[in-house]
A and B are shown apart, each in its own frame.
Chain A
């Protein structure tokens, strides 16, 4: 369990990135922080592994104040996945995945064996182990990034817009992989995104942020969609623009779903066929 208690962060240049933020992130669940740029979502994430220290307030992990922990040790116990994978360009895939275990003193042979099995976990072929990050596609790099994040078997996995830089098809694939992984591993995942669709797809708990890390609404995706707390949330999830209110039009022999702006949103299919389509919740 991660607990933010009245956390504020003012940067030296005077920007108030986070203003009196309090929230509990339950264990073994995915909490998604979603907001536009400037909402302080990345700052909040980076406070959990002390990449950023709060100006005031406390953050506790399972009841222990992290301000008392040594940052380097704390970071080695928390998985971290970032947008551009952040892999070391001069190290092979396998060495990148094994980076943190080696820092923690795991013998090289053991670290490599475990890293190889992690490649399986994230759905990468073992033949890629000896490649360098720049020889991989963006999606493959992100998978390596996830494998590296999992390498120390952390309880907490921080993900900072991990799928922001890949194309929509690969993104959908990676999102499904993450859902599968999370159902197997049950980590406490903190996920940052500006994409509300992604937030609703992945989050058990979704936190919609306004400027300065102020919480607009916290809840499950269906709660937020059904009962937006205010106009800001309604606008953010697209309810006010009729994006979420779809009607059926008969075109060319198919039932096409259209939103109130007249934009095509999808096709109406029979429930059995819909079940067979894994990512029917994310029409883009």
Chain B
């Protein structure tokens, strides 16, 4: 309890808010790093996920690849890449982008797969081209699950981004590594609490975004799901793929 009080004191100490190694700078670095890593992962994973979801092909490969990527220990990968590209942010970006790809990929294709097949079949029957089906039907209806995937990826990256400080003078992880070295456990715990607060804040933002992206007509459908008229579960809101990943 004493340690916890010390950690709070460390967080509240104005001296820790100044200079290039202060809490505000570290927070911004950490957040910026997370945003960039998740964005890079999304740039890679979303097009592939959409393609897999639309065509229904390559799902087996995607599941196997995602499983493989998930199994890679991030610290090990980080060390390996750092040995190759050297000290700096390159290695953390590679390692954490790879960490963020599987949940985003899964979110992108499960979002498409969860759409009622008759809706897509009918869109095609009335004369929508494949590109139009993707843009005006699959993307809007699949968006809630994609956002759930990005949310899951962001949570993992924001927590694991502390490792960036292992090979670079960067982010909230600095407080953990510095505190460990100098046995300043108040600083360590304080740094951890800041990471947790940042993660909780991001979770809050994503909860709101996820609610916003559920298409209006789909949200309106929820009472009818309760009445059991639709055999399909209301996949829109259920962040199923975040389960078991953290």
Taking Cβ atoms with an 8 Å cutoff, the residues of A that contact B are: 46, 49, 51, 72-77, 80, 82-92, 99-100, 103, 132-135, 148
Contact = CB atoms under 8 A, between A and B. Distances in A.
A73 B127 contact: yes
Contacts of B127: 72-77, 100, 103
A18 to B, nearest CB: 18
Given A86-B119, A88-B119, A90-B141, A80 B217 contact: no
Contacts of A92: 217
Chain B contact residues: helix, strand, loop or mixed: helix
Among A77, A80, A86, chain B packs the most CB atoms within 10 A around the CB of A86
21 contacts: A51-B125, A73-B127, A75-B124, A75-B125, A76-B126, A82-B118, A82-B125, A86-B118, A87-B119, A87-B122, A88-B123, A88-B137, A89-B116, A89-B119, A89-B221, A90-B217, A103-B127, A134-B217, A134-B220, A135-B220, A148-B126
A137 B121 CA distance: 21
Given A86-B121, A87-B122, A89-B141, A132 B128 contact: no
A132 B216 contact: yes
A90 B136 CA distance: 10
Report, nearest first, the 8 A-B pairs whose CB atoms are least far apart.
Answer: A86-B122, A132-B217, A90-B215, A76-B127, A134-B221, A75-B127, A80-B125, A90-B217
A133 B119 CA distance: 12
B207 interface: no
B140 interface: yes
Nearest to A71: B127
A89 B144 CA distance: 14
B65 interface: no
A217 B206 CA distance: 61
Contacts, number: 77
Interface of B: 116, 118-119, 121-129, 132, 136-137, 140-141, 215-218, 220-221, 224
A99 B126 contact: yes
Contacts of A72: 127-129
A100 B124 CA distance: 11
A52 to B, nearest CB: 11
Nearest to B125: A80
B221 A132 contact: yes
A80 B126 contact: yes
A86 B125 contact: yes
A156 B140 CA distance: 31
Given A84-B118, A135-B220, A90 B140 contact: yes
A261 to B, nearest CB: 34
A263 to B, nearest CB: 31
A75 B218 contact: no
Contacts of A83: 118
Contacts of A73: 127
A99 B141 CA distance: 16
Query: Which residue, of A84, A86, A89, A133, has the highest number of chain B Cβ atoms within 10 A?
Result: A89
A97 to B, nearest CB: 11
Contact of A82 (B122, B141, B216, B218): B122
Contacts of B128: 72, 99, 103
A222 to B, nearest CB: 33
Contacts of A46: 125
A132 B129 CA distance: 23
Contact of B124 (A51, A89, A135): A51
Nearest to B129: A72
Contacts of A74: 127
A89 B120 CA distance: 11
B126 A100 contact: yes
Contacts of B218: 89-90, 134
Given A86-B119, A88-B119, A89-B119, A133 B125 contact: no
A74 B224 CA distance: 35
A278 to B, nearest CB: 29
Nearest to B143: A90
B188 to A, nearest CB: 48
A87 B215 CA distance: 14
Most chain A CB neighbours (cut-off 10 Å) among B119, B122, B128: B122
Nearest to B136: A88
Contacts of B124: 51, 75
Nearest to A49: B125
A134 B129 contact: no
A134 B224 contact: yes
